[in-house]
Structure 1
């Protein structure tokens, strides 16, 4: 691990996995009967740019709805979370959402966590300039693999902020395991403020992941370009297309990249055969009922607290406290 002092109140710790781990995970995923890639690989510089564009699309209700909830209820959230503690944000991105809470919460320490190094570093520098009273300890790491913060104050109350319905990218068992790790990280007396997408009409979900401008398709296909760059691959992006659909029995959106012909692709020296129409499964986005998610959190060691939803019932921001049992 490398930790740099970037400014008087800004430290940056780099725990990002090495390139060999990226190549290994990609190859192992492509060897599966259903070829699969992790959505964490979306976020190179271009992937981050495209995702920010997705968040502003008219069909993609998730970001604006969560921002609306946080804007309307920031003061009430701050009263429940308390001031002066440590706030840890998973998947901090451009820090757009946490800004809605920082002034109300006034944490002593803020720890943004993201896998996209340059994006995280730039956002952390901007926050340090905008909030000179705030101690920032940014951590570039893959929290889906090893949930270990490089820095945690000993005495302050810890709350993890996990917005964006990113928990939906995890299989339910893996989501429960991650929530268990979060509970261990923030105990005792800690908590979790998490945003998750609610189950709703399949037509609305379909539109959100198949936007008319094709930005989500570009985002999905950019994953292949990233693999070409980082794993010595030769994917032809024009020979794959984006496919996203709602799998209602599983309660999830599935994103795939579908081969448009029989073809061979070389990745890290290994050859992979694709049939015409064969897909690479690139992302799941699970949708939850509120009671369904509360049950998942209870199993992980949390007790449900207050929740805030938009008036249309599209999205939920929920606070959970670590169980005292």
Structure 2
């Protein structure tokens, strides 16, 4: 038998040990961004989910702009029509010299109809989580409205934040929350956001766009468009994780799924695993069974009376309501 302490054996043993240690070396774990922390937590929970606010990196924001132009996606064009046709009445509610705070401002398209109707608006404070997209949109708006002070704020508007002090000579501070984004919140989150907005806008008001309950087939088509843009928008969340978090999602291994949950009056959007697979994120692996999902968005629908009741609970005083002839969508004035 060879002596295990012989020089050649010892050298082989040391080399083998070093090799095994190298093979067992842990994958370096790096500090994660907010997106990374929430993605990791979302994959660890059951059922799996991630906040829809992370849809909106630069690519996601551009995809959402495309969604708004789709023939099936009625909310944007319907809300724009309401804002255009009722702009004069809305301006009477807002008053002169207003400061407009837009939550989740995006491409700053709808606010132009409001600004055009208002009497000498003083300042515009758009808030959006996608800073790069917001800055580009704000520069375009500044060029078109040179008399308006435009101060973009890159932030998560669902969290408490301190706005700049009102400008000298300004009128009401009015929130603008179009697009029925309120529907993306869980009911308790929607109430919490409205309570936050009521405190922030005290003495002014909130102009909010709200999608209404309607035929399920109309809703299904809006979130499952024939061109597949909504599917691309949903899957971009995984693409973003691969790019920013060094994850290894197989984009072909997941499918977009959206359906209307009638009892809960909401669209539910998911990413569905097409097969049994595993994904790595920051040195941790997460297994998926075939058919397992990541929930990515709710889009709750409201009745007019239901939204007004929620506003009262949050501390607002409901005022005028504007709708289209088909009652697909509504715009509400809520006094703070």
Q: Does 1:207 align with 2:221?
A: yes
Spell out, residue by residue over 1:277-323, the C-alpha distance to the aligned partner (whole angstroms, 9 max, x if none): 0000000000000111111110000011001000000000000002x
> 2:82 and 2:165 mapped to 1: Cα distance?
28
Displacement of 1:152 after TM fit? Answer: 3.3
Runs of 4+ aligned structure 1 residues displaced above 3 Å come to none
> 2:322 and 2:126 mapped to 1: Cα distance?
23
TM-score by length of 2: 0.88
Aligned to 2:101: 88
Task: Kindly indicate which of the two structures has a greater share of residues assigned to strand.
Answer: 1
Name structure 1 gaps, 5 residues minimum.
1-17
Displacement of 1:31 after TM fit? Answer: 1.0
Work out which of the residue numbers 51, 58, 82 in structure 2 matches 1:45.
58
TM-score by length of 1: 0.91
> 2:315 and 2:179 mapped to 1: Cα distance?
22
SS of 1:98 mapped into structure 2:
helix
CA shift in 2, pair 1:270/1:19, >3 Å: closer
Spell out, residue by residue over 1:74-105, the C-alpha distance to the aligned partner (whole angstroms, 9 max, x if none): 11100111120211011111111000011221
Q: Does 1:22 align with 2:35?
A: yes
Q: Please say if residues 139 and 149 of structure 1, whose CA atoms lie closer than 8 Å, have aligned partners that are also in contact.
A: no
Work out which of the residue numbers 231, 238, 242 in structure 2 matches 1:228.
242
> 1:268 and 1:249 mapped to 2: Cα distance?
38
Work out which of the residue numbers 65, 68, 90 in structure 2 matches 1:55.
68
Q: Does 1:248 align with 2:230?
A: no
Q: Does 1:321 align with 2:321?
A: no
Q: Please say if residues 96 and 171 of structure 2, whose CA atoms lie closer than 8 Å, have aligned partners that are also in contact.
A: no
Aligned to 1:172: 187
Q: Does 1:289 align with 2:303?
A: yes
SS of 2:271 mapped into structure 1:
strand
Displacement of 1:20 after TM fit? Answer: 2.0
Work out which of the residue numbers 162, 182, 185 in structure 1 matches 2:197.
182
Aligned to 2:113: 100
- Total equivalences in the alignment: 303
SS of 1:193 mapped into structure 2:
strand
> 1:69 and 1:152 mapped to 2: Cα distance?
31
**RMSD of aligned Cα (Å):** 1.2
SS of 2:33 mapped into structure 1:
helix
Displacement of 1:156 after TM fit? Answer: 3.7
Which has the larger Rg?
2
